[in-house]
Amino acid sequence: MFESMIAKLKADRRKLVLTEGSDPRILEAASRLHKEGILIPLLLGNPEEVKTAAKKCGMSIDGIEIIDPLNFAGTEAMVAKMVELRKGKMDEAACRSALLKSNYFGTMLVKMGYADGLLGGATYSTADTVRPALQIIKTKPGNKIVSSCFILQRSTENGDERYAMADCAINLYPNEDELVEIAVETAKTAKNFSIEPKVAMLSYSTMGSGKGESVDLMHNATEKLKAMNLEFAVDGELQFDAAFSPEVAKIKASNSPVAGQANTFIFPDINAGNIGYKIAQRLGNFEAVGPILQGLNAPINDLSRGCNAEEVYKMAIITAALK
């Protein structure tokens, strides 16, 4: 999965902001990314503190740029740009205060073109990554929300087995239009991971076998998707067994272009999504990569506070590779 991404990035190296520059996990990943020539890491933090932390954990960061939010030559231009972006919502004093924080400062580096993307959240919440991204980077034209996707992967005798699941981390109870947007963005993410998307809109009902508000929700979202000029197959509402198992699909949804062969799964709410991907991860021995943020104008991603250096390394590659 990562080999093709790495090859593309080496041919077109991108700058990635890592907001927690003195964190040992970040330093290890940054050192490796720099050494392997995959991308150009930018570490945020006090230079002396970052260098001391690197020395303490035995990591070489020679040649890696360290940017101090408290002592940055472009601060005045950054403040002016942020005041313009947050006009009527944040005055100059509020913008200056926000830019002392690495999440806001790093997001502004991306907005001003100093970097191509950002990865943060090893020591702060998902909300602290998403909030400045929404306020400054904003969503892509035509998009109204930010959503998230997990890629589930495991190795088998026949090669890698890979699926996309959404939304498992951001939107609590998406409405019909939000589910449509989540499905479209997740299909795009799936393609980035060499998954040719076949999208199943999941429910406890298959093609009207059950009744209820959430059944109607997934059915109606599916109908809206089918009315669009999409480059991928989508169907629903489908129970997971009908979406996944060819044998069950023959019984429950024999005429479906997706049932029995789905590889991209859209859940009705965050409860189902979060529980679902974690069951697959733990019981199915899948590696869960994500959450991968979708719908933003620039590649920005969030780390789990329990992440390790390997996960930082992989998420950095994914973030830099996102279109």
pLDDT digits (tens, 9 = 90+) for 124-153: 877 888 899 999 999 999 999 999 999 999
Q: Where are the beta strands (DSSP E) in the chain?
A: 15-18, 40-44, 65-67, 117-120, 147-156, 159-166, 198-202, 233-238, 264-266, 287-294, 300-302
At CA 254, angle to CA 253 and CA 259, rounded to 5? Answer: 55
CATH annotation of 2-138+297-321: 3.40.50.10950
Residue 103 has pLDDT above 70, yes or no: yes
Query: What's the predicted TM-score (pTM) here?
Result: 0.86
Q: Do domains 2-138+297-321 and 147-288 have the same CATH topology?
A: yes
Is 68:103 a contact under the CB 8 Å cutoff? Answer: no
| HSE value, Cβ hemisphere, 13 Å, CA-based, for 25 | 21
Question: Percentage of the chain with pLDDT > 70?
Answer: 99
Query: For the chain, what is the mean pLDDT?
Result: 93
- Pick from 70, 74, 64: nearest CA to 43: 64
Higher pLDDT: 5 or 222? It is 222
Is 18:43 a contact under the CB 8 Å cutoff? Answer: yes
- Mean pLDDT value of segment 222-249: 96
- Mean pLDDT value of segment 206-212: 93
Residue 162 has pLDDT above 80, yes or no: yes
Please give the pLDDT value at position 159.
80
- Pick from 145, 155, 161, 167: nearest CA to 265: 167
Q: Beta partners for 156?
A: 159
| Tokens standing for residue 292 | 């991968």
| Coil, helix or strand at residue 74 | coil
Domain layout of the chain by residue ranges: 2-138+297-321, 147-288
- Helix count and strand count (H, E) for the chain: 13, 11
Please give the pLDDT value at position 177.
97
Could you tell me the pLDDT band of residue 157, with boundaries at 50, 70 and 90? confident
Please give the pLDDT value at position 88.
86
Please give the pLDDT value at position 323.
67
* CATH architecture of the domain with residue range 147-288: 3-Layer(aba) Sandwich (3.40)
